[in-house]
Amino acid sequence: MISHSFVGHEIEGMWLDGRPVGEIGLAHATTAALGVPVVALTGDDVACAETAAWDASVVTVPVKYAHDRFAAEPRPEAEAWKAVEEGVAQALSRAPRSRSRGEPSGPDHRGDAP
């Protein structure tokens, strides 16, 4: 197990709004800019903590516990599945409702933008 996007030493550090940011913070900022809410995240306990620091409204479900960047202890499979199902159900029950069917979501692409 290793970190997802930023492996190696090519990137020493990133900041967004004056705060250190990783893969999750960048993904969250990108979806927010597009008007798409993040409602749930599954991952290791470190990913869950990073998400909660950016947006406490996101339901997080740890499915493994990191020992370091390259090793983690997974939750038992049945326990993890149950936790994910319950967490996602909770997240969706309180998620903002989308527009009616057939309407595009995200930025307006009708061609009337400058």
Give residue-wise pLDDT tens across range 83-109: 999 999 999 999 877 655 444 444 444
Tokens standing for residue 73: 């202890």
Does residue 78 have a pLDDT over 90? yes
Q: Please provide the average confidence, as pLDDT, over all residues in the chain.
A: 83
Contact 87, 59 (CB under 8 A): yes
Residue 108, phi then psi, degrees to nearest 5? -75, 120
What is the pLDDT, as a whole number, of residue 3? 60
Is pLDDT larger for residue 93 or for residue 6? Answer: 93
Q: What is the mean pLDDT of residues 5-11?
A: 68
What is the pLDDT, as a whole number, of residue 21? 87
- Give the SS3 label for residue 59: strand
Q: pLDDT tens, 24-51?
A: 888 899 999 999 999 999 999 999 999 9
Name 22's Cβ contacts closer than 8 Å, sequence gap at least 6.
6, 14, 50
Is pLDDT larger for residue 52 or for residue 2? Answer: 52
Where exactly are the structural domains of the chain? 37-93
What is the pLDDT, as a whole number, of residue 4? 62
Q: How far is CA 106 from CA 31, 37, 45, 97, 101, in A?
A: 9, 10, 30, 13, 13
pLDDT class for 1, splitting at 50, 70, 90?
A: low
Question: How far is the C-alpha of 102 from the C-alpha of 82, rounded, in Å?
Answer: 33
